[in-house]
Each structure stands twice: as C-alpha cells, then as structure tokens.
Amino acid sequence: MNKFTRFLRILVNMRDHVDVDAAAVSIRNGIHFRGPNVYILACAIIIASVGLNLNSIPVIIGAMLISPVMGPILGFGLGLGTNDTALVKEALKNFAVMVVISILASSLFYLVSPLELEHQTELLARTNPTLYDVFIALFGGFAGILENSRKEKGGTVIPGVAIATALMPPLCTVGYGISHLDWHFIVGAFYLFIINTVFITLATFVSVRYLLHFTPVGDDEAKRRRNARWITLILILLLVPSVFSAIEMIKDNNFARNARLLVQQNKNLGKSFIYDYHTDVETKPSTIELYLAGEKLETSARERLYLNAEEIGITRAQIIIHEDAAFQNEMMSESELIRGLIDGHNDEIRRLTGQVDSLSTAIEFYKAQQLPSELITREIAAQYDGVTEVTLTRGQRVGTANGKASPAIVAIVHSAQPLQDAERERIEQWLRVRLGIEDVTVIGTK
C-alpha cells in the first residue's frame, strides 16, 4: 500500500516538472500587441476569414496556428490568480486591441469579398455555442497554462490548444455579421468568443492559484474575495444560455435521427412510397415533411405511419405529408421515381429474405429434434425377438426442487413376452449412445 501511495504521489507530482517563475515571465512578455504582432494578427484574421468564406477547414486551422491571440487571455488569468492589478489592466488593454484589430480586419475583408456561398456552414457553426464549447475552452485553458509552466515543453500543446479553443473564427464571424448587418451572426459568434475567453481565463486562474501555486504579487484578501464573486457571477451568466443551447442541440439531433429512422422504416406505404423528406428544426416544435409518390395514401397506411412515428418520439402534428400530384410532377424526375420504386422493392425483398432465413433456421431446428423412430424400431426388433412395436417420444424432465429442465427420451417397447430388467437396461444404455442423450427411460409392455 505504501508503494502504491508513493507511486501515485510521483504520478501526480508537478513541482519537479514546472518552473512557475519562467512561466510568469513568458506569459507577461506574450500579452503585448506591438509592431510585428499587430500585422501577424491582421494577416491571421484575413486568412481565417478566407477559410470561413470558402468553408475550408485546413485554411482556418492554419490561421489559428499563426495567430498570437492566447497571450492577453493567459496574462489576464495570471493577473487574477496572483492579485496583480497592473497585469490585469495591461492584459485587458491588449485584449481590447486584439479584439478591435480582429473585427476591423474581418469586417473589411467581408465588405470587399465578392464570394457568397449558398451554405456558409463554417460561419454558421460559430453562431450557436453550447455547453460543449465551455468544456473545450476550460480544458484547453488547463492544457495551455500547464504547457506554459512545464520545464520541458512538448511543442505541440499550444498549437493544439489554439485549434481546439478556436478564438479567431468567432471574431471573424462577428466581422461577417457587421459587414452584412446580421445580428444573428454578431451576437452568436461574440457569445462563443466570450465563452472561450472566460473559461480559458478561469482555467488559468485556477491553475495559477490552486494547482501550480504561482507567487502572489499582492495579498489583499478583500480584493481576492471580490474577484471570486465577480468570476462566479460571470460564469453563471455565461453558463445558463449555453446549457439551454446544448439542450436544444441535443433535441434537434435526436429529432433528425428519429426522422431518418421513420423514413427508413416506412419507405413503402401501401401503394405509395416516400421518395424524399426534409426536417426543419428551426421551427418549434420541429417538423418533418414527407414527399410521397404513387397512389393517394390510404387511411390505414397513414395511421400506421403515425403510430410508428409516435413510437419513436414524433407526434402527428410534427409530420407534414405532401402527396399533391402537381407538386410531385414539378419536384420529382423520372429517375427519382424509378429509384424510389427500386428502393421500395429492395426493402421488401430484404424483409422477405429475412423471413425466409428465419423460417429455414426454424425448420432445421425442428428437423434436428425429430427422432429416427422407424430406424430405431427395426434395430431393436433385430436385437430382441418378440418386439412388435416401439413408441419413442422426446420431452423434458423438470425437477420439483430447483425447477430446472433437462431433455429426456421415453421409449415404450411392446413385445410378446415382457422385457426382463437386464434387457430393458441394455436397451436404455444402447439408446443413450444411439441418441446422444443421457436421460432415457424404457418401459416394457405386452
């Protein structure tokens, strides 16, 4: 036990592996946006904006690796953790500079960019933060401050934190919203950026004060309590919307999954079939639109569809069925109609094939259970004179004490003269070997 305790202490010990003084100096030096840092930040913002505009994930990742945006945030957390008011103010000033430069650069880019994709998926992905983004920022912040404090730095942690926490894309999305006067993009993306910033700061604050024990600059207990209250209030204000957003995201994903399952299970509806469907999770409650081809949907088929939907959590009010002939002619090509028919027939073939396989398995099982009664009767008659008839039956012997059942065979041997005990036992032994069952009872009758 003592060895195990020592092993655990060695495993979690960090004092021998960190240099808090060097880390403090490094973080303080990294908060400033002066000279080349300003231009590097502007270039990284333009690259990220291009990546978002093109829906190019590699370009976005490259921009996050270039940008020096973590410095002021780590400095702010260090200042709070060590009660260094001067460092807090300096970090906030440089943080504001970073935010302004980023938003200005991205706004100017989107104002002059002629490209407008139909589906801005990467931009939209930054407008709906959830509780999961909180976890990413928090643990990314822990990884960032721990890497800054290590004596032997790995070299991949800080770039990984920059990619995971994604501070730049939300700022670029804010610039997109400003250039297009779209408050949905502005508010959603800025909220994501604030979540990332605050929880990276929180991770830094907790690590500096309680985990790594950086040397405090001031020892004002009142200020420490006041900072703790402000941090708690800000965290609550940020967490509540993100929790609701996460709940809505989970509901939307579940609805989309259930809608896909509903269509898969009901591809064929009598003389109609579903050739396409569309889900809308923006409306509340979410809806699914089903596009049908073939003959008009029968009442019984419609009811089966509704019952199946209710079983998987979709109400009748959430289902919108389109079976108008004009709409079908306008929206559905001949190839789509043929593909829908083929899909329906394939589903039916797979269903029938499954039934055939099940029936074949059942038949094979019952065949295996059958006793070769005719052959056994001839074999017994050849061995014992006077045997006129043999009745074989397969059953189960159930114990009254434990209720367990075991297979058993009962053989009724009809003969001109009653079987002797020795003959009956020999027949039982022979049947055990012949049938491969230990529990065999032979009854002799005239």
Judge whether residue 302 has pLDDT over 80.
yes
- Between residues 190 and 118, which one has the greater pLDDT? 190
* Gap between the Cα atoms of 23 and 213, Å rounded: 12
Extract the tokens encoding 159: 């770039």
Contact 418, 388 (CB under 8 A): no
The answer to whether residue 325 scores a pLDDT higher than 60 is: no
27-31's contacts with Cβ under 8 Å and 24+ in sequence apart are: 27/71, 27/74, 27/75, 27/78, 27/148, 28/75, 28/78, 28/87, 30/68, 30/70, 30/71, 30/74, 30/75, 31/71, 31/72, 31/74, 31/75, 31/87, 31/90, 31/91, 31/94
Residue 330 has pLDDT above 70, yes or no: no
DSSP string, 181-207: T-HHHHHHHHHHHHHHHHHHHHHHHHI
Give the H/E segment covering residue 246. helix 221-265
Q: Is 197 exposed, middle or buried (0-12, 13-18, 19+ CB in 10 A)?
A: buried
Per-residue confidence (pLDDT) for residue 338, from 0 to 100: 64
For the stretch 134-139, contacts whose Cβ atoms lie closer than 8 Å and that sit 24 or more positions apart, written own/partner, are: 134/195, 134/199, 134/238, 134/239, 134/242, 136/164, 136/165, 136/166, 136/196, 137/165, 137/195, 137/196, 137/197, 137/198, 137/199, 137/200, 137/203, 138/199, 138/200, 138/202, 138/203, 139/203
- Amino acid 329: pLDDT: 45
Give residue 328's pLDDT band: very low, low, confident or very high (50, 70, 90).
Answer: very low
Range from 7-16, 140-149, 169-178 that averages highest in pLDDT? 169-178
Do strands 405-415 and 387-398 pair parallel, antiparallel, or not at all (unpaired)? antiparallel
Q: Which sequence spans correspond to the domains of the chain?
A: 13-219, 254-332, 342-368, 373-445
Q: Which CATH architecture has domain 373-445?
A: 2-Layer Sandwich (3.30)
pLDDT, tens only, 55-65: 888 888 888 88
What is the reported pLDDT for 66?
79
CB count within 10 Å of CB 109 equals: 21
The token pair at 124 is: 């939209």
Query: Each residue of 156-197: pLDDT tens digit?
Result: 676 777 777 778 888 899 999 999 888 888 988 888 888 888
Percent of the chain scoring above 90 in pLDDT:
3
The CATH number for 13-219, chosen from 3.40.50, 2.60.40, 1.10.3470, 1.20.1080, is 1.20.1080
Q: What is the pTM of this model?
A: 0.61
- Percent of the chain surpassing pLDDT 70: 91
Q: Which of 17-31, 177-191, 229-243, 311-325 has the lowest mean pLDDT?
A: 229-243
* 326: pLDDT strictly greater than 50: no
SS3 label, residue 6:
helix
